[in-house]
Structure 1
Amino acid sequence: MKILHTSDWHLGQHFMGKSRREEHKAFIEWLLTVVERESIEAVIIAGDVFDTGSPPSYAREIYHQLVLEMRARECQLVVIAGNHDSVSMLNESKSLLAYLDVQVISQADLTDLDSHVVPLKDRQGNEAAWLCAVPYLRPKDMMQSQSGQSEQDKKEGLLQQIKDFYLSLYQRATQRNADRKKQLPIIGTGHLTAFGSQLSESVRDLYVGTLDTLPTSVFPPFDYLALGHIHRPQAIGNNGCFRYSGSPIALSFDELGRDKSVVILDTELLSTAMLSKDSNVMTDLFAEQEEPVVLKPIPCFQPMVSLQGDLQSLLSQIEGLSCEEGKTIWLEVSVLADEYLSDLHKQLLQAVEGKPIELLRVMRRRTQGETSMAFIERQTLSELSVEEVFDRSVTASLDLKDEEKTALSQLFQQCLEDVNEHTEGHGKAQEEAVE
Structure 2
Amino acid sequence: MRVLHTADFHAGRNLRGFDRTPEVQGALTEIAALARSEGVDAVLVSGDLFDTVNPSAEAEATVFDFFLRLRDAGIPAVVIAGNHDSAARLHGLAGLLGWVGVQLVAQPTANPLDLIRTVETKRGETLTVGALPFLSERRLVKAADLLGGDVGAWRQKYREGMGFFLRKVAEGFRPGGVNMLMAHATMDGAVPSGSERTMQFDLLNAYTLSPLQLPSAAQYVALGHVHKPQQASEMPLAHYPGSVIQLDFGEAGEKKQVNLVEVEPGRPARVTPIPLASGRELRTVRVTLDNVDARLAALNGFAGLVKVVVRAPSGTALPGLKDRVLRMVPNTLAVELDAVQEDLALPELRREGLSLTELYERFHQERRGELPGDLRAAFREADEAARGEEATLGEGVGA
What band does the TM-score fall into relative to the shorter chain? Answer: 0.7 to 0.9
Q: Is the 8 A contact 1:206 1:212 kept in 2?
A: no
1:95-142 deviations in whole A, cap 9, x for unaligned?
Answer: 122122110100122x22222111133234x23421110000122343
1:301 counterpart (260, 279, 301): 279
Q: Distance in 2 between matches of 1:72 and 1:213?
A: 38
Q: How does 1:159-174 map to 2 (within 5 A)?
A: 159-173=159-173
Q: Distance in 2 between matches of 1:192 and 1:266?
A: 23
Distance 1:26 1:367, change over 3 A: farther
Q: Distance in 2 between matches of 1:272 and 1:216?
A: 20
Q: How does 1:123-272 map to 2 (within 5 A)?
A: 123-124=122-123, 126-137=124-135, 138-144=139-145, 154=154, 157-173=157-173, 176-177=174-175, 182=176, 184-199=177-192, 200-203=194-197, 204-205=200-201, 211-221=206-216, 222-238=218-234, 241-268=237-264, 271=265
2:334 counterpart (320, 335, 360): 360
* Other-structure match for 2:394: none
Q: Distance in 2 between matches of 1:220 and 1:211?
A: 22
Q: How does 1:329-340 map to 2 (within 5 A)?
A: 329-340=304-315
* Other-structure match for 1:69: 69
Q: Distance in 2 between matches of 1:78 and 1:265?
A: 14
Distance 1:7 1:185, change over 3 A: same
Distance 1:369 1:154, change over 3 A: farther
1:321 counterpart (299, 304, 311): 299
One-letter code of the match for 2:134?
Y
Q: How does 1:99-110 map to 2 (within 5 A)?
A: 99-109=99-109
Q: Distance in 1 between matches of 2:184 and 2:279?
A: 25
Once the 2 structures are TM-superposed, how far is the Cα of residue 309 of structure 1 from its aligned partner? Answer: 3.5
One-letter code of the match for 1:201?
S
Instruction: Tell me how large the CA RMSD over aligned residues is.
Output: 2.8
Q: Is the 8 A contact 2:287 2:295 kept in 1?
A: no
1:327-384 deviations in whole A, cap 9, x for unaligned?
Answer: 4x3211223334232116x23531441544324241415489827xx99xxxxxxxxx
One-letter code of the match for 1:28?
L
Q: Distance in 1 between matches of 2:150 and 2:115?
A: 27
* Other-structure match for 1:83: 83
* Other-structure match for 1:383: none
Once the 2 structures are TM-superposed, how far is the Cα of residue 185 of structure 1 from its aligned partner? Answer: 2.7
* Other-structure match for 2:2: 2
Percent identity between matched residues is 23
One-letter code of the match for 2:143?
M
* Other-structure match for 2:316: 341
Of the structure 1 ranges 92-101 and 130-139, higher mean CA displacement relative to structure 2 is found in 92-101
Once the 2 structures are TM-superposed, how far is the Cα of residue 3 of structure 1 from its aligned partner? Answer: 0.9
Of the structure 1 ranges 197-206 and 362-371, higher mean CA displacement relative to structure 2 is found in 362-371
Distance 1:134 1:154, change over 3 A: closer
Q: Distance in 2 between matches of 1:131 and 1:168?
A: 12
Q: Is the 8 A contact 1:5 1:43 kept in 2?
A: yes
Q: Distance in 2 between matches of 1:91 and 1:17?
A: 30
* Other-structure match for 2:378: none
Q: Is the 8 A contact 1:336 1:367 kept in 2?
A: no
* Other-structure match for 2:116: 117
Q: Distance in 1 between matches of 2:72 and 2:59?
A: 20
TM-score by length of 2: 0.77
Q: Distance in 2 between matches of 1:206 and 1:227?
A: 18
Q: Distance in 2 between matches of 1:309 and 1:369?
A: 21
Q: Distance in 2 between matches of 1:23 and 1:158?
A: 36
Q: Distance in 1 between matches of 2:224 and 2:203?
A: 14
Q: Distance in 1 between matches of 2:11 and 2:54?
A: 11
Q: Distance in 2 between matches of 1:136 and 1:207?
A: 14
* Other-structure match for 1:46: 46
Distance 1:297 1:363, change over 3 A: farther
Distance 1:130 1:257, change over 3 A: same
Name structure 1 gaps, 5 residues minimum.
275-290, 376-435
Q: Is the 8 A contact 1:142 1:161 kept in 2?
A: no
Q: Which has the larger radius of gyration?
A: 2
Q: Distance in 2 between matches of 1:207 and 1:347?
A: 35
Once the 2 structures are TM-superposed, how far is the Cα of residue 251 of structure 1 from its aligned partner? Answer: 1.4
1:310 counterpart (256, 275, 288): 288
Once the 2 structures are TM-superposed, how far is the Cα of residue 161 of structure 1 from its aligned partner? Answer: 2.0
